[in-house]
Amino acid sequence: MISLQNHLASFPLSMCEYSASKDGRFAWFLCTYHTEQDHVLEEIQTEIKLEILNSDVSSISKINIEAWLKSFFADFHWKLHARFRKTELDEKGISLFFGVLFDHELFFVQFGRLVCALADRKKVTPVGKPWKNHHVNTLEDLALLGLSEKDIKIRINRIFISEIERLIVLPAAQATVSFPSGADPQIVDTVFETYKQEHNPLWLCLKAKERMVLPRQRRSSRLVISTIVLLLMTLLSIFYMIFGNRAIDRYSRKLRSLFISKRTATLEIIPEFLNQETSNLLRNIERVVVSPAQDVQLKLRWTVDMPYRVTCTPAFSLDNLYLASGKTLVAYKKKTREVLWKTAFNCEILDLRAVEQSLIVILEDNRIVSFKASGSKNWEKTLAHPPLQRGIHNSIELNNHDDPSLEGSVIVVADERGLYVLNPGFGEDYSKLTFKNKIQFLSAYDSHDRCLYSVVDQDFHCIELIVKN
């Protein structure tokens, strides 16, 4: 297992924090470093510590930790960027090291001036971010967390710390002086003692101990029996919580009201009452079994006030949105909602339909025109008779084929001013979304982005479907 051999920080210029599980198989380590002396750093360092403590890193598995680190620090970069913009610091960013340990395997990220090295019995070897010419790097090259005004590239380093190795984390300025290439590992402790007297000292040293091997457990018949008993008790408790409070209590309450009522309960009444309650109980059991255990909600993801009036049902592809206003067709990029291209016809657009690799436009003069995603015309054809006009989708059925997170199917129903998500088996409302004005157009379900698009007056809405199982 890995143990913390040595660490030092000078708060608020630098900070060193860690947390480990009781068995020593999991731990995380946080080091931060800044070159300036300012009281605002105390608040920033505290915010960083709280952000890590409040994260769900302790519940992340070894398989998913790399993806989690990329996602967490990509978002955290923008939070720190906004925080540093409000300060008067010269360097509006911070050096940071964060590592997550699984037994002897460490996954870590580095930003700014913090570097790492592995010390074995023979030499000290740099790992992760390179040290070479670190003192002449620009601020952009240093990649301080929170400094850049654009998304940052996050590199995940993965190393194995064997029984004879130590991991050292410290600022690059001290590392290049104290541990040149091939340095003697015997001087590590001496470097720490000397460096302690310097301004703003910071280091973290992890040492590997003998790997923990769990003893093989013997099979125990008592353990098996106890486990079975606990499982049965758990199943009985779940059964009672599902059915007991709803049926048994109500059943007993009605029986009690029968016997304490003013009129006498005859022998003919009781069987009839029991038959009614039995049918109700069976219906409730059917409802629990048939109805999927899920919660489906409609939520407005974003709204855009359009500069023109939309005149037909919106269409969409994997990357683009297509809107028609009278004789004009406009294509937007889904993620940024910027205009990609637009074109105008000499007659009204009746309908849009996005198919594989192209967009089909039906015009009032009986023409059908196909466009590529880039906006170039694919082909054109004239119909013999006027096309049918399409309007609002009054109901849309969604199932597991449309959205893998759905268990069973749901129905999205539209009225003049709102949308409903219904359970098709019993007609119950999962969710409802109401608008101030009438819905003019409603698109089909976008299974890629898990949403619907609606036009309400001059507003264009993206409505997200949230499924919680």
Is 340 found in the same domain as 379?
yes
Last residue of a domain, one of 357, 390, 423: 390
Query: Residue 213 — very low, low, confident or very high, per pLDDT cuts 50/70/90?
Result: low
What is the tens place of the pLDDT at every residue in 314-361? 988 888 999 999 999 999 998 888 999 999 999 999 888 888 778 889
Q: Using CA atoms, how far apart are residues 158 and 381, in angstroms rounded to an integer?
A: 58
3-state secondary structure of 333: strand
Least confident of 157-166, 383-392, 427-436: 383-392
Predicted TM-score of the model (pTM): 0.46
Last residue of a domain, one of 208, 234, 264: 208
Check: CB of residue 426 under 8 Å from CB of residue 411: no
Last residue of a domain, one of 331, 361, 390: 390
**Average pLDDT for 149-178:** 89
pLDDT at 69: 95
Check: CB of residue 175 under 8 Å from CB of residue 130: no
Domain extent at residue 440 = 290-309+392-469
**Residue 258 located in a structural domain:** no
**Residue 368 located in a structural domain:** yes
Which phi and psi angles does 166 have, rounded to 5°?
Answer: -130, 140
Is 455 found in the same domain as 334?
no
**Residue 228 located in a structural domain:** no
Is 299 found in the same domain as 154?
no
pLDDT at 245: 44
Query: Residue 123 — very low, low, confident or very high, per pLDDT cuts 50/70/90?
Result: confident
Check: CB of residue 391 under 8 Å from CB of residue 380: no
Q: DSSP 3-state helix, strand, coil percentages of the chain (rounded to 5)?
A: 25, 35, 40
Structure tokens at 218: 């013997």
Is 128 found in the same domain as 14?
yes
Q: What angle do CA 361, 367, 371 make, to 5 degrees?
A: 35
What is the total count of domains within the chain? 3
Does residue 138 carry a pLDDT above 50? yes
